[in-house]
Structures are given as structure tokens and as C-alpha cells.
Structure 1
Amino acid sequence: MTAVSGRIGEVAHWPVAANGEPATLIAALARNAAEFGDRVAFRERRYGIWQEQDWRAVFDEIAAMAAGLEEAGLVAGAAMTVIGDNRPRLYYAMLAANMLRAFPSPVFPDVPLEELIVATRHGAPPVGIAEDQEQVDKLLQLRDATGRVATILYDDERGLDGYDQPGLMSLDELVKKGRERLAREPGLVRRFVDEPQADDISVLLHSSGTTGLPKGIPLRHRNVTGGLLNAGASGYFHKHEELYAYLPTAWVGDFVFTLGAGMMMAATINIPERQETVMRDLREVSPTFYLAAPRAWDQMLTRVQVGMKNSTPFKRWLFETVMERAVAYERKRLSGGSLTPSEKLLDAVGNLLVYAPLRDHLGLGRAERAFTGGEALGEDTFLFFRALGIKLKQFYGQTETCALTAAQTEGQVKLHTVGRPMQGSEIRIDDSGEILVRSSSVVDGYYDDPESSAKALADGWLHTGDAGRIDEDGQLVVLGRVSEVVRTASGERYIPNFIENRLKFSPYIRNVAVIGAGRDELTAIVCIDFDAVGHWAEERGISYTSYAELSQKPEVQALIGQVVRHVNGTQPDGLRVRRFSNLHKDFDADDGEITRTRKLRRNTIETTYASLIEALYSGATETVFDATIAYENGERGVIRRTLKISEVLA
């Protein structure tokens, strides 16, 4: 036990593990308040001004919040629903729950009531934390439908003055009551720090639910702290990082890479004003560690390209000339080659004129560690950012492993791998080609689901459900989901997601579903990227009024045909997409077509678009599709769309 004197109450201690490191996230919080008390812990942009709180102030507020939550009925072993965008008070509430040996269960802020009911069925949550009026309304609807949650606490009070529901209270009022209780009970803070155990659940997250009800995934303190210490020892995190909290709070990437890393690495957690200002605020933060999904990197590249096309002719020429050379240099470096003296000189000039200014403009001038994961990233996007001097790397992990399993290291970066196992992690491939993982970051099982737990965890190994292989350098190659291995009518094996990811490498395709199980050939339902294709159309004088109209333009059909033809060139003959149709809209989580983390729900898609799929195999050049739409009043209607079907010429 190590001593700390804080602003609240008496001297407290924090539990440490055998390696001397904090045993829980609360122990790490106490350590930070004691050893780095004056350092900035959280920085939030509010009303255009960056507001800062140091570790002592954060510790003080979280302890007061825990005192208030205990009086509000939150007990050890209970869940606490959290819904809203990234806000300091929501993070504080998560840690305050941990002080009581309870656990937060964050929910995606855009979920409808039906999904909210499913997401809150575990842990009997007596308390819900809401960001604002919109989320309070959802929790009130949840209470009417299920009886949970009894107490609803909110951060932003705007619009809530006229509410008179029982159990409704602002977090300001909760903290005030908590401070009063702390003044009456001087030993309370010590209990809040000492009682949480490494085996306690630190957060309850949920699987994506692509094949059924989402499973509850409890990450225990030892999973999170152990995984982060492994990652830190492997060089993926450094002490006192500048982190950027913009990822959905219900995603493992936010809890582990933001809140968990913030505690264990005594980092500064920077929070944008709102989701609409994420990219603007990123430029002011300039984090040292930055994580983004492949689609976000693709969108960032598209914005750069669009911006340069709207620039002056000289700037456009300079950018295109320098970046073409920079990408060639990066290819050479990744293949093991060295730049010649003249190439090094040109690269240095390129950095001065283009790379460095562009990195600063994007807000990544200090990003010493930049990562992407979740699915494959396009080669062009990957090479562009690395050529720009942003040492982007790929990592691999799942919620069940705290997203900390394998990652690339500088000097060992390959385009088709996700790197070697992190320190403390083991990976092997079983006879069926499935990736198995063993690590301190692997969960013990699913919440209240012994059957699924027994299937996923056997002989100390997590069966990830992913297919993969280990290459000659010991790096992991992820091929896709084992469950998604299907066969065509001729018996050819393939993983649809593998082909879909390569199609999505194009900035013009946002989503796609490849069809072909049991069929003679492959076809695809394509959702164009409205912004990228819209800009492409405007440059060519192609007029349109809506997504639906743009998607059916002959020129757009030809554009997507070129993308499909390019990907076909990398595929064996029997696994080439022969026909496709551009959908009149994007796949939507509210329609059940994708999960909140943008994974396809294939069964839903194949059912919803059954008539379109049959038309793809009938030889027709177009089909009439009746699209169901939901109005704001809850009623449903039908809009008839004519969808074109295109052949992909060899």
C-alpha cells in the first residue's frame, strides 16, 4: 500500500499489484492525485474555451460523486447505465461507480428505445447517467417500459427546468450532497480507494450483436490494467500522453484507450466541445496518441484531397508532385529499402513544404503514436499518412481482450498484417484456422451467460471467432470471421468481409454487402459515399438533388464499376463480383442493417433486400424496389425506387 494525502478527508492508500503498479483504475486515480496532482487530467472545450481540471480536483469531484451515488442507491455489484457523448462528468461518474465496487455500462447515445432496453438488461441498474435532455427523455422512456432506472442524473440542465419526475437530479446537486457527506464522514474517501478489488468489474460493454442479442462483456480491473501495462511495456503508450476523447463511450476503444489509459498513464484527456467540432478541436489539441477507425482515416484523406483540389493551381501541383514522391519513398522503406542521399534531401524539402504544414493542419503534428483497427485499412490511405510522416500502425483486438492483443511496431510495419502479439499476450492458430488468444487482458466470460462463455473460453484460450494465420516473420494476418466462411455453388470458399473491405478501400464506397453463398457467382449491393461521390459529380458538372438520384446516375454506376473491376483484378476468377446495384441509401443502424459499430447484419440485409438480390441474379438491368420508411410520428410508409443493375466487364 502506498500513501497519498489529497484535498479530501484523511490520508488515503491505494492497492498495488505484485509488480508495484496500481491494482485498479481507482488506485491509479489516487496515485495520479498524489504524485501528479498539479498536472492537467481533463481538458474540455466548453463555449469555445478550454477548461482544465488537475488530478487533485478530479479526484476530489469523483469522490464526492461516489458519496452521492451511494446515497442514491448504487451498490456493489450493480450496473450503472451511462448514455451520452464524451463529457468529463460522464467519465467521472464511471470511476465513481468503481469506487463503490459497482460498474458503468455505457450505451451508444443514438440508440432507439428497443436497443436501450436490451443494452440495460444486465446488472439491474438502479441509476442512470444522462448527458442532456435528449438522453434524460430516453431514460424516462426506459423506466416507463421496464421500471429501470429509479434515479436519473444529468450533466447538462438546459431544457430540464420543467421536469418533475421522481428520482431526477442534476450531477451538480449530487456532487453538492456528496461533498456534504464527505465532510460528515472523514473516513469515506479511504474506503472508496481501498475497497475496490482487481477482480471487480470495471465496465460492462456489449458485443455488436450481429447474429443475435448483444452479449454482456465484463472487463475487470485486472484485465484493463494488465492489458494497458502490457501495451505500455511494448511501447504503445507513454506516460503523460495527450489523449483525445471523441470515440463512442460504449466502444471498448474509448474506455480502454481513453479512460483506462488516462488513469494508468497519468495522461491528459482532451474532450471536444461536441461531435460536430471533433476535427476542428483536434487541431487545437494535437494529441500525442491518436486512434481512429479505418473509415475515419479514409474520410480524413478525402477531406485533404477535396481541399487540395479546391486550392490554387500551384498548391495543387506542389501537393500532388510531392506526395506522389513521398508515397513512393514510403513503399521503398516498408519493403526494406533505404533512401539515397538525394531522395533524403527531397524528402526533407517535402516535409518542410508539405508534410509538416499538413500534419499541423490535421491536428496530428504531435501524434507520435497513431493507430487504426477494427477492420482492414486501404493501402492507399495507409501509405498516404505514413508518407506524410504520421507513423500510422495497425492493431488487433476485441472487446473480450480489452482491444489489446497485437500491434505493429515501427520498423516492422507490413501492409497486410496487424503486427506481433503485445508483451504478455500469446496468439496461436488452431486446426480450423481460428485465432486463439491468451493474456491477462482476456475476460473471464460473458455476463450471466455460462453457455457462451464455455464456447468462447476453453483451456485458458479465447476463441476469437476470427480466421487468421501467422506469417514468416511471426506477424498476425487477419482474414475475417470464421463464421463468415461460405462457399459458392461450385464449392469455392471465401469470406465476404474480406472482399467488402477491399471494395471499401475506395473513398467512393461507404458500405457494401457481397452476396454469393450457394450461388454461381458473386454480386454486391453498394452504398456510395455521398460526400466523396457528390464532390466527384460536381467536378464533372453532374447535377443531382439527393443521395437516391446521385446513386443511380449512369456516370456513378460507371465509377463504381471501375472500383469493382479493380478489386476483381486481385481475386481468383470464381470469386469476382459480376454484377452490382447502387442502393438508394446507406445501410442504417436504425433500420437494423448494421450495428452501431458499423458491422453488417447480413441476415437483415438479405431479408430486407431479397427482391433486389433476386434481380441481381436474374439478368435484369433494373428493378423496382419498395423501400419502407419510418416517419417521426412512428408511422411507416413505402417509397418505390427504381434501382439500376450493372454488369462488371472483365
Structure 2
Amino acid sequence: MQSTFPRLLLDHARQRPAAPALREKEYGIWQTIDWQSLAKMVEQVACGLHQAGLRRGEHLVVIGANRPRLYATMLAAQSIGAIPVPLYQDAVAAECVFPINNAEVRFAVVEDQEQVDKMLEIRTQCPQLQYIYFDDPRGLRNYTVEGLGSVDELIAAGGVFAQQHPQFFHAEAEQAQPGDVAAMFFTSGTTGNPKGVVHTHRSLIDRAEAGAEFDRLTHTEDVLAYLPPAWIGQNIFSYAQWLVCGYVVNCPESVATVGIDLKEIGPTYYFAPPRVFEGMLTSVMIRMEDASRLKRRMFHHFMTVARRVGPALMDGKSVGLADRLSYALGDWLVYGPLRNNLGFSRVRVAYTAGEAIGPDLFTFYRSIGVNLKQLYGSTETAVFVCLQPDHEARADTVGVPCKGVEIKLSDSGEILVKSPGLLKEYYKNPKATEEVLSADGWYHTSDAGFIDSHGHLKIIDRVKDVGRIQGGVHDGAMFAPKYVENKLKFFPHIKEAVAYGDGRDQVCVMLNIDFDAVGNWAERRNLPYAGYTDLAGKSEVYDLICECVEKVNADLSEDAMLAGSQISRFLVLHKELDADDGELTRTNKVRRGFIAEKYQPLIDALYGGKSEQFIETVVKFEDGRSGRVSATLRIMDARTFAPVKAAA
């Protein structure tokens, strides 16, 4: 019989009571919680929540960063049959209203004052939200609000209840069945209200076990939990697999200290979306540009060796003795110190997912000895659908179907998945459930792709986004916007891209520069600038970005299917796309339709042949205030290339 999360916790507490379960950095010092202490904390929180009125089948929202007591709260809720619903800690208050009302939430356990303020702000819109408990008391001493209390108070009350009813917790935990609902995760809501994805203990644990078996994970792993717990990727890696394997999850002190904490922990099992790996590489290249000439020459020399030899060594292939010796010297002088500086000195398995990763970026990490691989999955599939085996990691695929997964393609090229990890349903949304889950158990991913000759899955784009060019020299050619956008974002100077072209005679793109990378580039050329908007509009920056765009076009011209997706015109936006402004989802995916409406004058100018266009935009600041930013944006033509005919 398959287990449940509370049973897994109790098994670890019984079998390995003194082994570390969680670490949290507080005031610069790592504090360790062992499995026995964690089980006791979970019991106290569970009893406290029960005493406060939380009942089996009810939902409880958890909002905050990765914190031991928030993890304990999720386990506590599951132990008494309630359903934890993690929400994004960086979501504005209004974004929390729909999930809380949709799930009829009465209880919220949050991290700190910021999250308490959000809950209090929306209480009039969520009248059923009765109880709010906070983990960090700083700034909350003088709050006198009905239903507001601390996790400390909850634990104290639960401790008294547990003493009076010593069998209660274990009896409740034993009632849980693998088929019971374990958690609910809300989707990004790119096209409307988010949907609550309902997962059972069985679906989450099965996929956690499949991933652990695939990569031979054990209780000896160290993981750094730094991404939002509301994102199922982080939840699987630092919650489901943590409880399945019994390894140590480390919680950083804050967002600002993640880089330092990563180096201190040196995780053995690591996960990050491509943007994190991009940011790391950008910072490395910026530092190298500021290094001495000797260090720069040494770095570039050995990186040339690494690109030639490293991936082959990582794939278990044989290389010549001279290359092997050169690589060993490079490892001593460059790659080893670089891995250590990045925090990857102990990484055995590293994964990236969520978006396509650039071939150069992917090759860079593998060439310096980091076993970086790709996986494919979604909230609805409990993440693990396809994984890349060791020695078979390639930038243009997402791996092979993992244990228990079947894949087939529909007539339209959509990827269909059958897996033990599929969602039970979308909460209170049977119509949406029917749209994605067929009667015979196939899940419609909405992704277009195919299985290559090696049995690896390749993703092209979202099915609904794949379009056709109409008119012009490429009339009828396929247009895959995400594919184009990802190619652009492979360049360190480009942070974000939004491509348009479906039903039009050419492809046009709006871009964001990477302010740090381009700012460093400008400073080294003594190019003055007064902030993002000023820098983004510089003619020198446009020339730099145009080089990147034309390199993408040259690359696309060699792809028989996508040669028509070459970019004819582009502009650099005057502000960074932001989730708070509705332009990105909380997982940093572009909301292409929303952006098209918001920036309609810019799209009209791109397709109308204009050389510039004035735009004024409302922006939301971090403190909640609104303001306006305006600029006259330059529009630039890019060189396109004739499609390269394949050799006969």
C-alpha cells in the first residue's frame, strides 16, 4: 500500500529520530531540526489547528517563503485531513482573493507582517477568512485584530491539547488514505482566473518516488529550498521528494542571501529555472570582464578546452590523453573554483525546467562539470513526465518518459500524457477538467512536440501559440513565438522577449534588456546613462541588441520549419515587464495577449512601418503606489536571411 505524507514523516521520526530533516539560517547561523523534533512540532500545530476548528476536508492557505514552520503547517493540515493550499508570497493582495474564496478558506498561516497585512486588506472581500496565524512576529506586536494570532500561540495550545489527548494525532494521521486530497496548487491564470489543481497523496508521492528512483536519490542529499513553495516544482523537490527520501532541506535566511547560502550548503541535488542559470552565468561573465588581463586570458583559454572536451566527459565518452590532461588542469585552475564560487562544488544532479534553456547556456554548465539536465512536466502532472538520463542530456530535448508515463501525439501534434501523477481535477471546475482529461485517462498538455529518433521528447511551443505567417515572402510558414523568444533570451543582454506574427506578414518583437549585463557593458565603454529607460533607448544599445536579433535570424534560416519566424522589426521597451503590472505570471511566463492589448500602439507602430512611437504606461511600485513612465521608443529593422536549403 502506498503511503501518505504524515505517515512518511512518522516513519522517518521513528527510524531516524536524530537525523537532520530541515535547516534554517537565522541571523547568519544554520539551525537544525531533526525528524523527531519536526514530528513533535507537526503534532502540536495539528492539535492547535484542530482545537481552533480546522476540520477534515477544509482548505488552509499557507503564504510565505520556505520556512520550517510553514512546512510543518502543511504536514499538520494533512495529518488531520485538511488540505494545504500554498499561495505565492510575492502576489499582491488582490491576487489572493479568488483562491481564498474559491476554496472557501477560513484559516491562513503566513510568514510575516507583509503577508498579515495582505490578509487583513482583503478580509472584507473574503468574509469567511476567520483565522490568520503568523510565523515571524516582528512588527506585529501592536496588532489587535480578531482572529489574528502567532504560530507560537498555536503550538502552545496544541501542546496542551496533545498532552490531554496523546492518541489524537496518530489516530488522525492514520486515517489518511493515499487517494485522499493532499494539496491544491493554483495555476498562473494567464488567460483568466487561476485554476485549483487538486492532487492526492498517491499522485504526488508516486511522481516523487519515480524521480528519486531515476536519479538514485537517497537520504544523504542536501537541497536548498529557495523558490516559491506555491510553485509545484519547488514543492515536489523540497516537500514530496524530501519526505520520500528523507534528505535535508535547507531554507535560506532571505532572498538576498540565497547566493551566499548556496555556497555554504553546497547542495547535491539542485533545481532552478533557466533564468536562474542565466543570471548566474551573466554575473560570472560580468566579473570576468572586470578581472585582470591574465585571468581573462586563462579563463577564455580553458573555457575553449571545456566546450570541446567537457560535454564528452560528462556524457561518459572517451577523449584523447592531451585533451584529458588539459581539462584536468582547467578543472584545477578554473572549473573547480568556478563551481565552488557558484555553490555547485557538490552537485551530483541539477535540473532545469519551465522554459527552454539555450544550447550555449546548457553546454556551459555541463562543460565545467555540472551534471545539468532537463525535465518536462507541469502542475497538472506533478512535474515528472520526462527526464534526461545521465549521459543523454541534450539542449534540444526534455528527456525520455519516466517510470509509469505514456506519451502519444494527437493529430494536431499536441502531446498527450498518461501518468499516475495526473491531477484529480480542477477544483469546482468540471468543464475545465473535461477539457484536459479525456475519459480514457489522457491529459492534454497543450504543448506541441514530437518524439525524436532517440526516444527523447522535443517541445516546439504551446499548441495555441503555434501560428502561421500570412502574406509576404514567408506566406504559410510556421510561427512559434516561444521558440523565437527563448532563442533571444539565450543572449545575456536580453532578459525578456515577446514575439508576434501569427496571421501577419512578418514577425516583430518587443524586448527587455538585462539591466545589469547591459549596464556593465555600457560602463566599460564609458557610455553614461540615467536608469533603465535611458539605457534602453541608447542607439549603441539598439545596435548591440540588433546583433543578437540578427544572429537569431541566421540561426532560424537554417531551420526548414521555422525559417519564416525570422524577426523583421523590433523595439526595446522603456520598462521591464513585471508580474505586478500583470505582464508576467508569478512564474515569470509572458502574458502575450495581455501585453498585446496594453501595448497596442507599439504593435501598430511595428507593423505600420513607423520608426518611433510615443508610449505612456501605468506602473505599480513595490510599496503599492502607482505611477507613470513614458518614452518615445525607437523601432529598428533587422536583417533577415534566405532559408538555407538542406544538403541533398
TM range (shorter): over 0.9
Extract unaligned runs of 5+ from structure 2. 558-562, 641-648
Of 605, 608, 614, which aligns to 1:618? 608
- Correspondence for 2:547: 562
The question of whether the paired residues in 2 share the 8 Å contact of 1:198 and 1:220 is answered with: yes
Change (3 A) 1:66 1:286: same
Please state if 1:255 is matched with 2:235: yes
The letter for the 2-side match of 1:614 is: D
Please state if 1:265 is matched with 2:245: yes
- Correspondence for 2:489: 504
Of 375, 378, 384, which aligns to 2:364? 384
**Distance in 1 of aligned mates of 2:621 and 2:320:** 62
**Distance in 2 of aligned mates of 1:236 and 1:374:** 23
Q: CA deviation at 1:628?
A: 2.1
- Correspondence for 2:464: 483
The letter for the 2-side match of 1:644 is: R
- Correspondence for 1:47: 27
Q: What are the residue-to-residue correspondences of 1:138-537 with 2, within 5 Å?
A: 138-235=118-215, 237-332=217-312, 338-458=318-438, 459-489=440-470, 490-537=475-522
- Correspondence for 2:646: none
Q: CA deviation at 1:240?
A: 3.0
**Distance in 2 of aligned mates of 1:479 and 1:190:** 49
Q: CA deviation at 1:357?
A: 1.5
The question of whether the paired residues in 2 share the 8 Å contact of 1:467 and 1:481 is answered with: yes
**Distance in 1 of aligned mates of 2:245 and 2:413:** 36
The question of whether the paired residues in 1 share the 8 Å contact of 2:315 and 2:391 is answered with: no
Give CA deviations for 1:362-407 in whole Å, capped at 9, x if unaligned: 1111110100001110111111111111010001000011111111
Q: CA deviation at 1:128?
A: 0.3
The question of whether the paired residues in 2 share the 8 Å contact of 1:627 and 1:641 is answered with: no
**Distance in 2 of aligned mates of 1:222 and 1:273:** 32
Change (3 A) 1:255 1:632: closer
The letter for the 2-side match of 1:563 is: C
The letter for the 2-side match of 1:83 is: I
Q: CA deviation at 1:309?
A: 1.9
The letter for the 2-side match of 1:646 is: M
Please state if 1:579 is matched with 2:569: yes
Q: CA deviation at 1:637?
A: 5.0
- Correspondence for 1:3: none
The question of whether the paired residues in 2 share the 8 Å contact of 1:240 and 1:268 is answered with: yes
Of 88, 112, 126, which aligns to 1:108? 88
- Correspondence for 1:609: 599
- Tell me the TM-score normalized by structure 1: 0.95
Q: CA deviation at 1:333?
A: 5.4
The question of whether the paired residues in 2 share the 8 Å contact of 1:79 and 1:122 is answered with: no
The question of whether the paired residues in 1 share the 8 Å contact of 2:5 and 2:243 is answered with: yes
**Distance in 2 of aligned mates of 1:94 and 1:239:** 21
Change (3 A) 1:568 1:633: closer
Q: What are the residue-to-residue correspondences of 1:5-84 with 2, within 5 Å?
A: 16-17=1-2, 23-84=3-64
The question of whether the paired residues in 2 share the 8 Å contact of 1:293 and 1:374 is answered with: yes
SS at match of 2:556: coil
**Distance in 1 of aligned mates of 2:172 and 2:247:** 22
Extract unaligned runs of 5+ from structure 1. 1-15, 18-22
**Distance in 2 of aligned mates of 1:560 and 1:117:** 40
The letter for the 2-side match of 1:647 is: D
- Correspondence for 1:123: 103
Change (3 A) 1:293 1:550: same
The question of whether the paired residues in 2 share the 8 Å contact of 1:287 and 1:367 is answered with: yes
SS at match of 2:102: coil
Q: CA deviation at 1:119?
A: 2.5
The question of whether the paired residues in 1 share the 8 Å contact of 2:86 and 2:230 is answered with: yes
Give CA deviations for 1:84-137 in whole Å, capped at 9, x if unaligned: 111111111011100011111111112122211022233211110110111001
The question of whether the paired residues in 2 share the 8 Å contact of 1:409 and 1:419 is answered with: yes
The question of whether the paired residues in 2 share the 8 Å contact of 1:142 and 1:148 is answered with: no
SS at match of 2:101: coil
The letter for the 2-side match of 1:270 is: N
- Tell me the TM-score normalized by structure 2: 0.95
Q: What are the residue-to-residue correspondences of 1:81-96 with 2, within 5 Å?
A: 81-96=61-76
The question of whether the paired residues in 2 share the 8 Å contact of 1:368 and 1:390 is answered with: yes
Change (3 A) 1:495 1:362: same
The letter for the 1-side match of 2:46 is: A
Q: CA RMSD in A?
A: 1.5
Change (3 A) 1:148 1:327: farther
SS at match of 2:318: coil
The question of whether the paired residues in 1 share the 8 Å contact of 2:478 and 2:564 is answered with: no
- Correspondence for 2:643: none
**Distance in 1 of aligned mates of 2:228 and 2:193:** 20
Q: CA deviation at 1:263?
A: 0.6
The letter for the 1-side match of 2:585 is: T
The question of whether the paired residues in 1 share the 8 Å contact of 2:305 and 2:323 is answered with: no
Q: CA deviation at 1:212?
A: 1.5
Q: CA deviation at 1:189?
A: 2.4
**Distance in 2 of aligned mates of 1:514 and 1:523:** 6
**Distance in 2 of aligned mates of 1:448 and 1:222:** 21
**Distance in 2 of aligned mates of 1:639 and 1:370:** 40
Of 549, 565, 570, which aligns to 2:534? 549
SS at match of 1:147: coil
